[in-house]
Amino acid sequence: MEIILDLKASDTRDILDTLFVMENKEFYDKITARLPGFVPNKNIQKYIEKLTKSKNVDREKLKFYFHNYDYEFNSTGEALIVANCLDIDNPISMSGYTLNEYLDILRTREDDEILEKLVAYLVYLKGKAECKLVEKYKDTHKDKNKTVELLKDCNISSEAKWNIYLIIDNPKKYLNEACEFIENFIPIFNSSFEKVKTERINFSEYISNKVEIEGIEYLKRLPSINNLEQYKTIILTPMTVNYASIIGDERDGILVLYIGTKIEKALEDIKGKNDDEVVLNILKTVSDSSRFNILKMIIEEEKFGLEIAEKLELTNATISHHINLLQIADLVIINRREGKTYYKLNKEALRNMIKFISKEFKL
Rounded distance between C-alpha atoms, residue 298 and residue 289, angstroms: 15
Closest CA to 249 of 126, 116, 93: 93
Rounded to an integer, the average pLDDT of 98-123 is: 95
Rounded to an integer, the average pLDDT of 16-35 is: 84
Please write the tens of the pLDDT for every residue from 129-147. Answer: 444 556 677 788 899 999 9
pLDDT for position 79: 65
Rounded to an integer, the average pLDDT of 72-97 is: 78
Closest CA to 234 of 90, 92, 106: 92
Computed on alpha carbons and rounded to an integer, the radius of gyration of the chain in Å comes to 21
Rounded distance between C-alpha atoms, residue 221 and residue 61, angstroms: 40
Instruction: Examine the pLDDT at 193 and tell me if it is beyond 60.
Output: yes
Instruction: Examine the pLDDT at 30 and tell me if it is beyond 50.
Output: yes
Please write the tens of the pLDDT for every residue from 274-313. Answer: 778 778 878 888 888 889 999 999 998 888 877 887 788 7
DSSP string, 11-39: HHHHHHHHHHHHH-HHHHHHHHHTSTT--
Closest CA to 304 of 346, 345, 342: 342
pLDDT for position 192: 93
Rounded distance between C-alpha atoms, residue 189 and residue 211, angstroms: 29
Domain ranges of the chain: 8-196, 272-360
Buried b (16+ CB within 10 A) or exposed e, 40-61: ebeebeebbeebeeeeebeeeb
pTM (two decimals): 0.81
pLDDT for position 156: 83
Q: What angle do CA 345, 350, 354 make, to 5 degrees?
A: 160
In sequence order, what are the beta bridge partners of 249?
Answer: 256
Rounded to an integer, the average pLDDT of 340-357 is: 87
Burial class from Cβ neighbours inside 10 Å (0-12, 13-18, 19+) for residue 163 reads buried
pLDDT for position 104: 98
The CATH number of 272-360 is 1.10.10.10
pLDDT for position 36: 59
Buried b (16+ CB within 10 A) or exposed e, 188-225: ebeebbeebbebbeebbeebeebbeeeeeebbeebbbb
